[in-house]
Structure 1
Amino acid sequence: MAEKNESAVLATHEAKELSRLRNSTSFKLGVLITNLIKKPWRLFRFPYDIIRVLIDKPLEHKSRKCDGLIVIGLDTKGKYHSHLVTNLYPELKDVTDIHFLTTSLVGSPLENHSIIPGPRKMKNRDPKGWNLMVERYVSSYVANNNIGKIVLVSDYPFKGVLDVIKSNPDVEGCWIKTTLPHDLDKQTNHAQSDFDLILDSDKIALAVVNETKDRLPLQKRKGRSNVVIDLPAKLESKSDDLVNRIRSILHENFEADMYQIIYGSDKEVERSIPNKFLEQIDWNSVDLIICDGSIRSQRVVDNSDCHVLCIPNKKLIRDRQIERFNRKGLDEDIIILPNPHDLAIVDALENLLITRPSKGEGRRVKSKSPTTAISLDVLREWII
C-alpha cells in the first residue's frame, strides 16, 4: 500500500523534479554545509557525512504492472475530438480496463468517464495554467488506476498530456492526430517522437462510421443542381436563420434540389441526410456544399467532388481552420464568405453553380480507403 501511495505522490512532473533535486548529491552536500553552520559541533562528523552522501546510490525506478488504458479527447473549441472518442468506444469495449477523459460530453457518459473543462471554458484563459491542471489530473489518474497506455485524440500535442508520457517510463502513448494547416502542423513535429504510435484521426473517424451496403445517391435531375447544406443548426439560433435564408435564396433564384446534413434526430428537414450516412453519399451527384469550415465539414469537403461555399462562424471556428480553407480556395472551387448578406450569397451561388466549370478531382476520395480499417486494426493491436 505504501508503494502505491508513493507512486501517486510522485505522479506529477513537478513532484518528480522536486524529488530528483532533493535526492541529488549537490543538494545533499548543501544541506550538510547548512547544518554545519547551524551546528558547528557536527564538524567532527562532516567527513563521514560527505562519504555517506557520495556513496549513496540514486533512487532506482521500480516498474509497476500497468495494464489500464485511458483515451483522452481534448478540444480547445467545439466537440469534434470528444465525439470521436465516444465513437471509438464500441470498437474498444472489449478492453477490460478502459477509462475516458474528454472536454465535452457527447451523449451519455461512457464507462469510467471523466469530464474536464476545455481551455476556453476556464475563467482565466491561461494555456499554461490549463496544461498544468491537465497534467496534474492525468498523472494522478494514471498513477491511481495503473494506466499503462494513453491514447490522445486531438489536433495538438498538449503539454499537459505530453509531460505525463515523457516523465513516466511505464506509460506508452498513442496520438490520434487531426492534421492542421501546413504551417501550423509543422509546429507539432517536435512532439511526434514522444509517441509510440501516431494515427490519422480522419482515417479513424471514417473507420468507425456506421457502414451500410447501399450508397445514398442524390436524385440527379437534368438541368438542376444538387446542393448539400452542412451548417451546425443545433449550435445557435442564428444558424437556423442562416440555413433558412440560404434555402430561400436557392429556391427563389436557382433550379436546385437541397439536402441538409442532420447531426441530431430532433429536427425535421425535408430531404435530410443523417450524419451516419455521410460516407455512403454518392458525391458525383452533388454540385455544391455549403459549410461552416469546421473540422467536421472539412472531412465532408475532402471526400467530395464539388464546389464549396464556406460561411465561417468565427465564434465557433478556429482561425487556423478558416486559414486552411483559404489555402484550399486558391487552387480549388471554394468561396469563403465571412459576411453572408443575401446579395453576397446570391453572387457566390451564381459563381459556383453557373459560371465556374466543375472541378475538384484532386480533392475527391474515390472510395473508402482500405487504410481506414487498417488504422483501426493497428490501434487495436497496439492496445492489446
Structure 2
Amino acid sequence: MEHSPHGRPPGRPPVIADVARVAGVSVPTVSRVLTGSTPVRDKTRQLVMDAIRELGYRPNEAARALVRGRQSMIGVITSNTTRFGYATTIQGIEEAARAVGLLVAITVVDSESEADVKIAVDLMLGQPLAGVIVLDFDRQGEQALLALPETLPIAAVTSTREGRPVRRILFDDRSGGREATNYLLALGHRTVHHVAVPGTGRPSGRMEGWQEALRTAGAVVPEVIDTDWTAQSGFEAGLLLAERPGLTAVLCGNDEIAFGVMKALQTRGLSVPGDVSVVGFDDHPHASLWSPPLTTMAQDFVQLGAASLRSLLADGREPTEDPATPSLHLVVRESTAPPRI
C-alpha cells in the first residue's frame, strides 16, 4: 500500500498519532496542547501547531469536548470481555457510570506487544475521557497501565499493590487461595494440587495463597500446571493430573478450568468427589448447575467494578488502595469431600 510523505495511508484523514509523529512528541503531549489542560513549553507547542498545519489535522469531536471541559466518558481497558470475571467487572463499571450520567468506552488489548498496546491506548486517548479504568488481571492489563499518561485520572482493578502508583481497587485472591487450600487440608487431604490461571508477570494471588497454606501446614507443594483460563485448557490439565499418583484434591484458578478438570478426571474413570475433590474460583453462574455442583471461592465482580468507578471519580488524584471485595468467601457444594481411607 502506498503512503503519503508523512507515512499515512492515502485517503485517510490525519489523526492525533500522525500529529505526534510529525512533531516528534507523544500523543499525550499533543492532547495537552489541544486541550490546554496542562502547561506545555512554547517550543513544544509550536512543534505541535506546525505539524497540525502541515497535516491539515482537524481535532475530532472528542478533542473539542475536552477543550470545552465536557468529559462525559469513562475508558475501560481490558484484554477480554467474555470471561466471567472480566465481563461482570465491566458490568459493575457500566452500571455505576450510567447512574452518574457517564458513558463507558471499552478498548480490548489482546496482545502484549508494545506496539499493539500503544495503538489501543492512543485510540482511547482520542475520546473525551473523565478517566480510565484498567482491568489489571493479566500481562496485557499491566502493559496498558504503564502506557497511560500521568495527566489522566487512572484506576486499576488488581490483586497486587506492586507496580505503577495509581488508584488501586484490590481484590484479595491471595487470601482466597489460602482459605480454599486450608479447607481441603481440613477435610483430611494430605496435599492439594493446583491448576493455575495466567499471571501478570508474577504468580497469581490465588497461587501464592495456595503455596502459603501448604507450606504452613508442612505439606508437599506439587508442581503447578499452567492453563490459559479456558475450560479446554482445564480439560487438558485434568488429563495430566489423572496420571499423578496420590491425587486426591485440586484447587483450580477459576471455575471454567475446574469444569474442564472435572470432565477430564471423569473420562479417566475417577469420580468427583469420591476419588478427587475439586475447588474452583469466582463462583461462575454455572458452578451450582455443574455435575457435581462445584465448591468455589465466590467474588462479587459487579461490586468490584462499581468500586473502581467510585474511586476513579473521587476528589484528588493521589494513589489510594481500596480493598473492595470483603465478600470473598467459600461456597461449599458437592465437588469436595474427605479423602477415601
TM over 0.5: no
**Larger CA Rg, structure 1 vs 2:** 1
Tell me the TM-score range normalised by the shorter chain.
Answer: 0.3 to 0.5
TM-score where L is the length of structure 2: 0.42
TM-score relative to the length of structure 1: 0.38
Higher helix residue share: 1
Bigger relative CO (Cα 8 Å, ≥ 6 apart)? 2
